[in-house]
Amino acid sequence: MTVPDHDRVEVRDGAVPAPCCFCRRLTLGLVGQDFYLAPYFLDTDRSFADGRYGQCHLKCLQESGLGRRWASGVSDYFCRRWPDWIGIDGGASRVHVSPPTRGIILWSAQGWFAELPFNVLHDAAADTPSGAGTPRPSRRTLSVSSIIGFEGGPYETIFAALTGGHHSRIELPTLLAQLNCADRVLTPHVLRDGWVERVVPESRKIPLPAEYRARHAVEFDVELINACRAAIRRTVGWRRRRR
């Protein structure tokens, strides 16, 4: 799935590879496909989690039957931590705003979670229909770039094809197949044209280790995107008035 350049957005705080707490196969921390289940998300009753915490494939979470339980468990935490939010679909999905990190947290009662930066407000804005009577698209795709590993970091060997300089990128479907994780992807079609590349960050002070960045598509309902825009406008406007 090819995404135009004007629909691209950077996600700087991606996860490093880690075993899925359900299937024990590696997760790459891909936006919209993987998530980190932290024990502090839950209140005192953590018995249903059966000690399963940490990085997970969202497909594994849903197949485990615990997606709704986790969503219910973290709901109060999200509302306390990020009290500025907008609900859609009768409250089945929410957009939480985190002004300090300039990010948004997407929550679903079914157990789907994602984190994105504020500039999704611009990059994921719905297209305006070209003519009268033209229906608006119901879904919108944008491209994200997230850091999923560092040179010298955990599981660096899975990026070995990039370190020797023989390849400029690894196709995401190929990498996931090599990791035996292709069947753990929640929405495979959005990763079809994705890849991982090695990037050396610029630094004027000290040399920084090379980063491994995943670039792929994420698909959202336009209604959810509009809720993101409204939540950010409301929060940013409120903070400006307080000043």
pLDDT in tens, 117-147: 777 555 544 444 445 455 556 777 778 888 8
What are the residue ranges spanned by the domains of the chain? 5-124+139-242
The model carries a pTM of 0.81
Give mean pLDDT, residues 38-52: 84
pLDDT in tens, 48-89: 888 888 999 999 999 999 999 899 888 889 998 888 888 888
Q: Which positions ≥6 away from 96 have C-beta within 8 Å?
A: 78, 79, 81, 82, 84, 85, 104, 105, 106, 107, 231
Percent over 70 (pLDDT), the chain: 82
